[in-house]
Amino acid sequence: MKLIQLRLFIILCGLSTTLVTSQDSCSSKLLQLQQPVPFDTSSLLCNPVWGDHSFILRYAKASSDVWSFIFSFPSNINAYAAIGFSNDGSMVGSTAIVGWMPSPGAGGMKQYFLGAKSPDQVTPDKGDLYMMNASIVPASTSLVYMIFQLKTTQPSSKLIFAIGPDGAFPNYPGYALAQHSDQISKVIDYKTGTTTSVIPYLNLRRSHGILNIAGWSILLIIGSIIARYFKHWDPTWFYLHASIQALAFVAAVVGIFIGLALSRKLKAESDVIHHKNIAILIIILGFLQVLAIVLRPGLESKIRKYWNWYHHNIGRILLCFAVGNSFYGLHLGGEGSKWFLAYGVSIAALVLIAVILEIRMWIVARKESQSRKTTSFPQSSTELAYY
């Protein structure tokens, strides 16, 4: 019985060792490498830079002008893994160190200069980095380490991590690098080891969002409120309504063009296809509203009531799609809860104002109706006597 227990204990220890060596985490201080590291690893800081793909970066300042790095990733990704050092946070113009290991012991590691987005402008063995003591080694059957040092007083804090397409490895003789399938940008604080995510083209994203939110929803709602509830300001209400809606349309169209430029820069057509299709529908509805203004019949025209029905209902449909697509756009843009809250409060405030004005309009209309009935049918003296 004791012999069986001893065997079970040995098996469990072996399994736990396998689990430890088949995965990596910053809580593990020991690196299960199959060969010695050519620099001291005791003072390395560790950061799980990309949790979605289990990328981990360890680093330390080895001397006044040398930095040591160990970058680990799972071998079962069946693709290359890359870390890029950028001057401005963008991929173009950065220098990347790329590693791959399709099978244990059969990997490679190279430096690339990313001159442009086209593959022919991604040049191997070029770049702004002076790399030394570089090697790529398997730590286990499912983990790979890229080991290197950079000769620099301070490496760039703007890092880019990328993963290649499935099964596409840089091969001899050209070592061409296929376009990545996923990437993320980070800013690292080398002193504390903390990283923050970088949203590429943030100014373009926010310009697109602000213009479309202001145009398609906020201003259009305000213009609609003026048209429905302030007609007693004739003709001021009409000029206000027309001016605000025209401004909203122009702002929204500019925002859409910015969005198209942004999708091309990000190469994210597939990710925003639904957002884009809804935007096209909104543009069509907007042009129908412009057409309605151009073809507006006179007040005495027999078809005026049909025009009113068309103009009012197309506007309501447009507003519903615009508000929904704005929320969807905020979601796609990865904006925080503050943006959702600010936009939601703005829409809720406008809806509340519209509800209050609608109730007020019903009350006024009812009083006027009762007043007309009283005027049209005066009570007789006999009826008054009962009061």
- Residue 111 contacts residue 126 (beta carbons within 8 Å): yes
What local confidence, expressed as pLDDT, does residue 195 receive? 87
Residue 189 lies in a domain: yes
Instruction: Tell me if residue 62 falls in helix, strand or coil.
Output: strand
pTM, to two decimals: 0.57
In total, how many domains does the chain have? 2
Structural domain range at position 131: 29-198
Tokens 């943006």 belong to residue: 339
Distances (CA, A) of 362 to 285, 353, 369: 29, 14, 10
**Helix, strand, coil: what percent of the chain each, to 5?**
50, 20, 30
Q: Are residues 151 and 262 in the same domain?
A: no
Quick one: tokens of 353?
A: 């104002």
Q: Which residues of the chain have pLDDT under 70?
A: 1-23, 29-30, 32, 34, 140-141, 267-270, 334-336, 375-387
Q: Are residues 68 and 113 in the same domain?
A: yes
What local confidence, expressed as pLDDT, does residue 14 receive? 42
Q: Are residues 193 and 67 in the same domain?
A: yes
Quick one: tokens of 296?
A: 């507006």
Residue 335 lies in a domain: yes
Instruction: Tell me if residue 313 falls in helix, strand or coil.
Output: helix
Q: Are residues 241 and 194 in the same domain?
A: no
What local confidence, expressed as pLDDT, does residue 16 receive? 38
What is the CATH classification number for the domain harbouring 143?
2.60.40.1210
Residue 320 lies in a domain: yes
Residue of 111, 108, 50, 66 lying closest to 84 (CA atoms): 111
What local confidence, expressed as pLDDT, does residue 289 receive? 86
What are the tens digits of pLDDT across the range 343-368?
Answer: 999 999 999 999 999 999 999 888 88
Q: Are residues 140 and 285 in the same domain?
A: no
What are the tens digits of pLDDT across the range 89-107?
Answer: 778 889 999 999 988 778 8
What does the DSSP assignment read for 247-266? HHHHHHHHHHHHHHHHHHHH
Q: Are residues 219 and 153 in the same domain?
A: no
Phi and psi dihedrals of 14, rounded to 5?
A: -65, -40
Q: What count of other Cβ atoms lies within 10 Å of the Cβ of residue 376? A: 7
Strand pairing of 182-188 and 158-163? Answer: antiparallel
